[in-house]
Structure 1
Amino acid sequence: MSRQSFTPEHAPAAAGPYSHAVRIGPFVHTAGQVGVDPQTRAPREGVEAQTRQALENVRAALAAAGAGMGDVLRVGVYLTRAEDFAAMNAVYREFFDAPYPARSTVYVGLNPGLLVEVDALAVLES
Structure 2
Amino acid sequence: MSDKIIVYRTFYNPIEANIIKAKLEDADIACFLTDENIATIQPLFNQAVGGVKLNVFEKDVLTIDKLLVDNELEIAEEDQAENADIITCEKCGSTNVSYGLATKNKYSWWVTILSILMTVYPFKANKCYHCYKCGHEFN
TM-score, normalisation: structure 2: 0.21
Higher strand share: 1
Structure showing greater radius of gyration is 2
Q: Is the helix fraction higher in 1 or 2?
A: 2
TM-score normalised by structure 1 residue count: 0.22
